[in-house]
């Protein structure tokens, strides 16, 4: 009886404790991603008066090739082309013609800003010796679809695939392509000596190849297989291999070099695959179709930021604050959200070092023409 009594008391205590414990709070779902704009003044932009706006004006004039075809930008581009040289004149042009708007994701103004560059690879036009990794041109059966042409609500949404039995089906993944899924199409433009460098060429979206005779050719983006881009640096952080403060292009490469088999599998975990074309003349070209300007061209998510818009960034990296006017001229698979940017740093070892380690937090301001009224702003910036 004593033992039974003790069991009953214990059971009652457990039941009472369970009944008296409140359920864990239900975390409300995050609001959908949404661009918010807060009107500001140029005096609100830290470092504005110290910037070299003439460099940004030169980049903006490249965007005017496309922007000037739109009525709301035409007069601004005319004024830009008539601006005298020098930072003071360029600063006056932007202050006279634009209003800065602090960007936010549902009024959260903090965002991530990274960097990219134009890499150099060693390669040849034919395979042989060390040149065993192909750089592929765009397949003839790759269909890239701009969904905004079918429904306004899908503006700037894109998918890709191939037609099979009258239906659009997903295209081969990176792992499948690397293992020969497209070999029968004979798509190799060049052959390079480093599969890891070829992988990062796809991440950067453009690059140069140094040929055995010492000459150099330039490659530009010419399509993607439609598979979702997965950042392998994030995978290494999620798996506890690297910490957020240590992940960089350089640390990822070092880990892959130290773990070849695991590194190959890690690259396969990113199903995205990029195709290239050989470019003649200056470059590289961004998604806007204009030549990018080192340190002044910014890759953005064009679901929220239209290409050609000047963007002032105010961010802090390991190297200190970076405050400068840039122009949205490119996009990228990893660049998603209203407050997200990727700074193009150019070509060469210094650009690689700067881009590979950049992981800055901060805010940005969209500079929009004063001639645009709020309804026009909403129309222009709606995803």
Q: Examine residue 62 and state whether it is found in any structural domain, yes or no.
A: yes
- For residues 365 and 340, state if they share a domain: yes
Q: Examine residue 23 and state whether it is found in any structural domain, yes or no.
A: no
Q: In this predicted model, what pLDDT tens digit does every residue of 4-63 receive, in sequence order?
A: 445 444 444 444 444 455 555 655 666 788 899 999 999 999 999 999 999 999 999 999
- Asked whether residue 213 carries a pLDDT value surpassing 50, the answer given is yes
- For residues 218 and 139, state if they share a domain: yes
When the pLDDT of each residue in the chain is averaged and rounded to a whole number, the result is 90
The mean pLDDT of 216-229, rounded to a whole number, is 94
- For residues 54 and 166, state if they share a domain: no
Cα separation of 186 and 196, whole Å?
Answer: 21
Q: In this predicted model, what pLDDT tens digit does every residue of 223-271 receive, in sequence order?
A: 999 999 999 999 999 999 999 888 999 999 999 999 999 999 999 999 9
Q: Examine residue 14 and state whether it is found in any structural domain, yes or no.
A: no
Distances (CA, A) of 292 to 298, 326, 329, 348: 9, 11, 7, 15
> Domain count of the chain?
2
pTM to 2 decimal places: 0.85
- Asked whether residue 311 carries a pLDDT value surpassing 70, the answer given is yes
The mean pLDDT of 311-336, rounded to a whole number, is 93
CATH number at residue 270: 2.40.240.50
Identify the pLDDT of residue 378.
54
Q: Examine residue 8 and state whether it is found in any structural domain, yes or no.
A: no
Q: Examine residue 26 and state whether it is found in any structural domain, yes or no.
A: no
Q: Examine residue 336 and state whether it is found in any structural domain, yes or no.
A: yes
Q: Examine residue 241 and state whether it is found in any structural domain, yes or no.
A: yes
Among residues 262, 279, 296, the one where a domain terminates is: 279
Q: In this predicted model, what pLDDT tens digit does every residue of 162-192 receive, in sequence order?
A: 999 999 999 999 999 999 999 999 999 999 9
Domain extent, residue 74, equals 35-115+288-381
DSSP class per residue in 205-247: SEEEEE-TTS-EEEEEEEEE-SPPP--HHHHHHHTTSS-TTT-
Identify the pLDDT of residue 373.
66
CATH number at residue 69: 2.40.40.10
Among residues 239, 260, 279, the one where a domain terminates is: 279
- For residues 132 and 209, state if they share a domain: yes
- For residues 249 and 191, state if they share a domain: yes
- For residues 134 and 219, state if they share a domain: yes
Q: Examine residue 15 and state whether it is found in any structural domain, yes or no.
A: no
- Asked whether residue 83 carries a pLDDT value surpassing 60, the answer given is yes
Identify the pLDDT of residue 59.
98
Q: Is the peptide bond before 40 cis (omega within 30 degrees of 0)?
A: no
Identify the pLDDT of residue 206.
93
Name the percent of the chain lying above pLDDT 70: 89
- For residues 292 and 243, state if they share a domain: no
- For residues 292 and 342, state if they share a domain: yes
DSSP H helical ranges for 68-144: 71-81, 87-97
- For residues 42 and 62, state if they share a domain: yes
Contact 307, 327 (CB under 8 A): no
- For residues 220 and 123, state if they share a domain: yes
Among residues 261, 279, 297, the one where a domain terminates is: 279
- For residues 273 and 308, state if they share a domain: no
- Asked whether residue 116 carries a pLDDT value surpassing 50, the answer given is yes
- For residues 46 and 100, state if they share a domain: yes
């Amino acid at each position: 009886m004593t033992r039974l009594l003790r069991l009953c008391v214990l059971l009652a205590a457990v039941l009472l404790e369970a009944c008296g414990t409140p359920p864990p709070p239900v975390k409300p779902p995050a609001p959908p991603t949404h661009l918010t704009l807060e009107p500001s003044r140029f005096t609100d932009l830290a470092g504005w008066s110290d910037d070299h706006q003439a460099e940004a004006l030169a980049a903006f004039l490249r965007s005017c090739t496309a922007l000037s075809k739109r009525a709301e930008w035409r007069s601004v581009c005319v004024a830009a082309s008539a601006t005298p040289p020098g930072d003071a004149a360029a600063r006056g042009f932007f202050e006279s013609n634009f209003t800065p708007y602090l960007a936010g994701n549902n009024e959260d103004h903090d965002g991530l800003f990274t960097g990219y560059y134009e890499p150099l690879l060693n390669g040849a036009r034919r395979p042989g010796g060390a040149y065993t990794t192909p750089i592929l041109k765009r397949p003839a059966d790759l269909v890239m679809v701009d969904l905004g042409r079918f429904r306004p609500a899908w503006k700037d949404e894109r998918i890709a695939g191939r037609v099979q039995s009258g239906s659009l089906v997903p295209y081969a993944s990176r792992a499948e392509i690397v293992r020969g899924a497209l070999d029968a199409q004979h798509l190799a433009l060049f052959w390079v000596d480093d599969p890891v460098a070829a992988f990062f060429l796809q991440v950067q979206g453009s690059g140069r190849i140094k040929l055995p005779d010492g000459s150099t050719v330039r490659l530009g983006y010419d399509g993607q297989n439609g598979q979702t881009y997965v950042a392998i640096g994030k995978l290494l952080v999620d798996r506890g291999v690297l910490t957020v403060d240590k992940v960089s292009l350089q640390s990822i490469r070092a880990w892959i070099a130290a773990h070849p088999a695991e590194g190959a599998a890690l690259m396969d975990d990113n199903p995205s695959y990029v195709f290239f074309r050989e470019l003649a003349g200056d470059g590289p070209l961004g998604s806007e179709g204009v030549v990018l300007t080192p340190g002044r061209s910014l890759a953005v998510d064009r679901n929220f930021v239209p290409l050609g818009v000047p963007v002032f960034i105010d961010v802090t990296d390991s190297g200190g604050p970076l405050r400068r006017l840039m122009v949205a001229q490119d996009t990228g698979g990893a660049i998603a959200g209203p407050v997200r940017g990727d700074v193009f740093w150019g070509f060469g070892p210094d650009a690689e070092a700067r881009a590979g380690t950049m992981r800055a937090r901060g805010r940005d301001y969209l500079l929009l023409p004063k001639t645009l009224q709020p309804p026009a702003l909403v129309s222009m910036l709606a995803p």
